Structure 1
Amino acid sequence: MNFNPKAMQYGLSVFGLIWYLGLWTIGLLGCFAARRRYRSRTTPRTTLQSPGVSILRPLKGLDSNLYENLESTFKQDYPTFEILFSVADENDEALTVVQALVDRYPHVKATIVIGEEVVGVNPKVNNLIRPFRQAAHDILWVLDSGVLVDPGTLARSVDALTVSSHSQKTIGLVHHLPVAQIKETRLGSRLEAAFLNTNHAKMYIAINTLAVDSCVVGKSNLYRRSDVEKVNGSLIPVRKQVLQRESQQSKVYGLAAFGKYLAEDNMIAGAIWHELGLRHDLSCDVAKNIVGDMSFWDYVWRRVRWIRVRKRMVLAATLVEPFTESIVVSLIGGYSCGQLFGIPLWLFLPMHFVPWLFLDLDVYQSIAGNSPRGGELGTFLLAWCAREVLALPIWILAILGSEVAWRGRSYKVLRNGEASLSVYQGSSSGWRHFWRRTEPVYHQL
């Protein structure tokens, strides 16, 4: 059989056009789903008989906007809830803020839990073990310290978790889309906001609308403690675990089972989905992520960290990721349309980027309630362009390594997203990361 370069070129062009149109379909799905979900909000169905909720807020240090973030949980319009603040160190600076809020809202049941219980390398899980156990209610709402929420968020989230929907599947977890709000004007903060409020939001909403698998960011999650206590992170259905006669005594169940992962939020969500057969739902509320003072390198290494974690958890999806970004997609579409329809690349590129940008701005409008205007629009456009240009270099940098830095500690990401903690604790920011001569030593707990 003779090799036919023209036939191969034609086949690649057809495949490229299908891929290009497929990415546009996903983008449009994310845009229209964002309009439908976030441009109007439902009225909560709460009553005095609504189930109680325990709000868990793990803390470490004085995060940006901390007082307002924590105060938003005191202001929830819901009949029965408690708040548990947890810190690993009794001298943590966040305790001063918490105590001021407890004094200001004496009618809200709030408890401060001091001291972590080490069950793995993940400090957030270690910090959550005690409040997880002490919570008075089965429904738990785990909120990161950098998140601010609206007063009706809890009520609508409980509705999504407990009220039957048209789906045949029972909801086991309700999560909220993170939306960046900037209080700092540094480049890294701008880049983070441009990423979260456009490309990330669009893809996150589209994937969760299709609901073919678990896709959850853990900044704001609502689930039942009784469900988490049944899972172990194996992602094997509970019934199959019983049939395989796995020793339950040798398995760790509940929150402690996820202490070995850096992305414990994604693993808990995946376990609820795969092990229990429960599904997830996005509330019509968002998790307002207050972006702090991020430098350029802070942004770069933050993106690198989570790409390296995803690489060990969902390798195929991570390898495909560059081919979903606008610049690479534009080159694929430009090549395909040039070969099939004779459209020159110089004409195709503006035909691609202008509607792509407007699609992202429409998503921004839906989730944030407004879009950048005036001088802010110009700043946003520069950050958006920089984010698009940086996407591929950052991905390449992330793929080439397995070490990450998080909260002042260094970790090596292992198989399935597990991690080992580095004994060496040095700077992992900027180009110094490449020139560090001391080889770190890792160990697992």
Structure 2
Amino acid sequence: MNAAAIVVLALAGAGILYLVLACAMVFRLAARRPPEPATWPAVSILKPLHGAEPRLFENLSSFVEQDYPGPVQILFGVQRPGDSAVAIVRRLIEAYPDRDLALVVDERSWGENRKVSNLANLAERARHEVVVLADSDMRVRRDYLRGVVACLAEPGVGAVTCPYHGIALPPLPARFVALGIDTHFLPGVTVSVGLGIGHPCLGSTIALRRETLEAIGGFQAIADSLADDHELGRRIRGQGLAIATTPFSLGHICVQDSAAALLAQELRWSRTIRQIEPAGHVGALLTHPLAFALAAFALAPGPVAGAFVAAALLARLALCIAVERAFRLPPHPYWLIPVRDLLSFFVYAASFLGRSVQWRGRQFDVTRKGALLPRGVTPNTRSDAG
């Protein structure tokens, strides 16, 4: 076996060990049970919206139908009166007349990140002590808010975030996205939390106290950041506070109906991570053992390399099943796993070939600080270019 084959085989072996470790970390996180607080604070939930996404009514309803002992205010925000999400919110308000729900239409913009501008406008109308922001494509269980607030009540915790799993709509690309979330992203979060090597702060949910939000400058301070959740977490940790991760996951509705939509979204995720966490992104090389095992087999065909290919496939399958059991998810079509693994490696490799991203129909470059720089704007014309 030549030297190149030995190197890639070593990378494959390290990746297989990572997958085994991830299996253990998945069960470890899911087994954590924070104690319930003595009192339940009032909560304001902020839901920034942009268009009538598939299953939006059901997603929003899951936040309304919470089994929570304290007062809950939910604010739904859009930036244009003609936004197609408005009709869905009005139907939701009519369906739940006994709940504290409100639609906020506010066109003010605070930076390039329109979602953050939306959040800043919503925050001005939030009345309660605890503020929870959550993306519109999330679906939650009825005890979601109890679990989030229980984690926030733990000593030293300044914010709470939630890992998420994929819920795929029928198109095949959406199934690939959901499988990628459950076999790559979600295990990656559990490993970083379990080993203390990462500090995830995810747009699926970020819950914090109003005083913490004010101490970091509010949402206006991160209005130019594409990785707004990451930047929010960085600022919270800068206050000497920890970010807790819930032991349960939320459902992320995957709606991609084409290969182009899949690649555009996953490249945006991967290139953003590369810009804001370069060392961690390089380290993610070890999370792709199948690609390296296949490369070793191509360089030196034989039973040893073939065994590594089989081990990489079996380890990813075991991880997929571990995630399904730990978070009580329905099974995936396991035959898609090899293709999904190679697709993930392709996206990872492509993330190093540029820094442009597509987001909500616009083209941006992502700066080293995670800020959004519209295409055609040179870095020396923007103070936040980084």
TM-score for both structures, normalised by structure 1: 0.77
In the alignment, structure 1 residue 359 sits paired with structure 2 residue 344? no
Judging changes above 3 Å, is the alpha-carbon distance between structure 1 residues 308 and 36 closer, same or farther for their aligned structure 2 residues? closer
2:111 aligned residue (88, 106, 120): 120
For 2:45 and 2:57, the matched residues in 1 are separated by 16
Q: CA deviation at 1:304?
A: 1.0
SS in 2 for 1:35: helix
Give 2:40's aligned residue.
Answer: 50
Residue 133 (1) aligns with residue 124 (2): yes
Number of aligned residues: 378
- Deviation of 1:53 after TM superposition, in Å, equals 0.8
Query: What residue number does 1:225 align with?
Result: 210
1:233-263 CA distance string (max 9 Å, x none): xxxxxxxxxxxxxxxxxxxx22111111101
Give the direction of change, closer, same or farther, for the CA distance of 1:41–1:151 in structure 2 (3 Å limit): farther
How far, CA to CA, are the matches of 1:351 and 1:404 in structure 2?
35
Task: Give distance in 2, aligned partners of 1:147 and 1:269.
Answer: 19
Match of 1:32 in 2: 24
Q: Does 1:65 align with 2:65?
A: no
Taking the aligned partners of 2:306 and 2:195, their CA distance within structure 1 comes to 34
Residues in 2 aligned to 1:281 and 1:102: alpha-carbon distance in whole angstroms = 32
Q: Does 1:281 align with 2:241?
A: no
Aligned to 1:347: 307
1:89 to partner: Cα distance:
0.5
Question: Is the counterpart of residue 321 in structure 1 residue 287 in structure 2?
Answer: no
Percent identity, aligned pairs only, is 25
* Mapped partners of 1:228, 1:121: distance in 2: 20
Matched residue type, 1:203: G
Aligned to 1:235: none
Any residues of structure 2 matched to 1:17-416 within 5 Å, and which? 17=10, 23-38=15-30, 45=36, 49-78=39-68, 79-164=70-155, 170-184=156-170, 186-231=171-216, 253-273=217-237, 275-330=238-293, 344-372=304-332, 377=333, 380-382=334-336, 384-416=337-369
Mark the runs of 5 or more structure 1 residues left unpaired by the alignment.
Answer: 1-5, 165-169, 232-252, 423-439
- Greater C-alpha radius of gyration: 1
Letter in 2 for 1:397: A
**C-alpha displacement of 1:61:** 0.6
TM-superposed CA distance for 1:14, in Å, is 9.1
Offset at 1:331? 5.7
In the alignment, is the contact (CA less than 8 A) between 2:169 and 2:255 conserved in 1? yes
Cα distance, 1:43 vs structure 2: 9.0
Cα deviation, 1:296-339, whole Å, max 9, x if unaligned, reads 1111111111222122211222233333212245368889xx9x
- Conserved? CA contact 1:126–1:259, under 8 Å: yes
Q: CA deviation at 1:343?
A: 6.3
> CA offsets per residue over residues 51-88 of structure 1, 9 Å max, x none?
11110000011111101101111111112111011100
Q: Does the aligned pair in 2 maintain the 1:181–1:193 contact within 8 Å?
A: yes
Higher relative contact order (CA 8 A, sep 6+): 2
Residue number in structure 2 paired with 1:239: none
Q: TM-score, normalised by structure 2?
A: 0.88
Q: Which string of whole-angstrom CA distances, capped at 9 and with x for unpartnered residues, describes residues 176-199 of structure 1?
A: 111111122x23212101100112
Give the AA of the match of 1:117: R
CA distance in 2, matches of 1:368, 1:326: 26
Gaps of 5+ in 2: none
Q: Is the 8 A contact 1:44 1:156 kept in 2?
A: no
